[in-house]
Amino acid sequence: MKILNFMIIILVVSIFNGCAVSNKVYIDKQNDKQIKILDNFEDEDLSSFDEEMEIEDICDPFNGYNRVMTDVNDNLYIYVLKPVSTGFKTVVHKEVRKSIQMFFHNILFPIRFVNNTPR
């Protein structure tokens, strides 16, 4: 419950943050491409770009929330999921892992069957 409250608080703060955080985007008019440049680039680092590019500020109200959740997901993967999966692979025999994989594959058969029916 505490985690849910924390996530709701972060979401609300991010929404009310509004356009306080903006990213610079360089637009190449010749190729119609947008190249996102993060805030840590300096103007001298951008000297390789064409003269035909303009700078736009894009408002991202979820920027803070996205950065926090990316950090949470990265740390969860590095410190929890990867060690657990490595330990599972070390302890459990390959044939048992394959049996578990096929069990879940077979449970999802009805979903695959409905999605693959001809129209």
Strand residues in the chain grouped as ranges (E):
22-28, 33-37, 53-59
Residue 105 has pLDDT above 90, yes or no: yes
Confidence bin at 59 (pLDDT 50/70/90): confident
35: nearest Cα among 18, 20, 50, 21:
50
Residue 16 has pLDDT above 60, yes or no: no
d(CA 24, CA 30): 19
Q: Supply the pLDDT for residue 88.
A: 95
Residue 109 has pLDDT above 60, yes or no: yes
Residue 107 has pLDDT above 50, yes or no: yes
26: nearest Cα among 14, 41, 6:
41
Q: What is the DSSP letter of 32?
A: T
* 78-91 confidence digits (pLDDT tens): 999 999 999 999 99
Domain residue limits, the chain: 62-119
